[in-house]
Amino acid sequence: MSSARAAGRTCCGATLGSELDLAPRARRAWWSRETVAVVTGANRGIGHALAARLAEHGLTVVLTARDGARGEAAAAPLRARGLAVAFRRLDVSDAASVAEFADWLRDTVGGLDILVNNAAVSFNEIDTNSVEHAETVLRTNFYGAKMLTEALLPLFRESPATSRILNISSQLGLLNKVSDPSLKALLLDEETLTEAAVDAMVSRFLAQVKDGTWDAQGWPKVWTDYSVSKLALNAYSRLLARRLQARGARVSVNCFCPGFTRTDMTRGWGKRTAEEVADVGARLALLPPAELPTGAFFKWCTPQLYSKL
């Protein structure tokens, strides 16, 4: 999305600043039991609620989690309700685990139609801002999501309904949280921005964490390591959407910020429940092909101009 676009313009089919009408209505579903959705970090919280909601809509869902016992315990009650839910262990931060999962998905399931990158970690309390675990946060929230996405791209079935990637993100990773003018300019210049530049930005932040200078470098001030991970994920998502669109791939890429949600990550604080978030997230993931944007950032169900929020 170019910084020159103003609110009210369209972003790949979605009107910026205008809430999408996601109210349930009688219309023919484009999906079926054969449609496969993979949801990461789905043993609890938003991930589990989204996996359940997608399965309730009639899709086949692959629920993933790092912990095998917890993941299976989360999937079993859904299967007991007659929902098509399979569990597979996956640690998105581990290259071997990602490769094994991709092989299993190809050989056992035959591919996928929807990927929900939900797996994420944060080690801060609501009112703290430590970067002690910054490397783990970036390795999971950004590099992990990116590594899994790239591994699964060849497995998307690219049906006429268009396959979908929905990255669970945060407005903490939007540009108005960045005060370094050079960094903001880098991320706004979509003609020259590259995935390598995004990776270099993350490496720069981690280097500054190591030498103790990060606090004075213009990074977001709230949950800085988590915010930088989402800043990078948002930028990568826009670049990936552009890359796939340029080669004519029928795969959309969008980000979804659910807002302040009551989960373990927020220690139970928040304005919404995971189930309320799942209602909106599932509807975004299942938008009719004619209404499906790519390269959009949804704050709740409103596509936002990335640079202006």
Q: Which residues are catalytic?
A: 226
The tokens describing 257, both together, are 């910020």
Angle between helices 145-152 and 224-246 (to 10 degrees): 20
Q: In what order do the strands lie in the sheet with 85-89?
A: 85-89, 60-65, 36-39, 114-117, 163-168, 251-257, 297-299, 302-304
Which candidate, 109, 92, 58, 126, places its Cα nearest to that of 233? 92
Instruction: Say how far apart CA 18 and CA 304 lie, in whole Å.
Output: 8
- Residue given tokens 């499906």 in the structure block: 292
Residue 65, CA distances (Å) to 36, 167, 190 in order: 17, 16, 34
* Residue 3 DSSP SS3: coil
DSSP state of 83: -
Which candidate, 211, 214, 201, places its Cα nearest to that of 130? 214
Identify whether the C-beta of residue 307 lies closer than 8 Å to the C-beta of residue 175: yes
Which candidate, 163, 171, 155, 145, places its Cα nearest to that of 285? 163
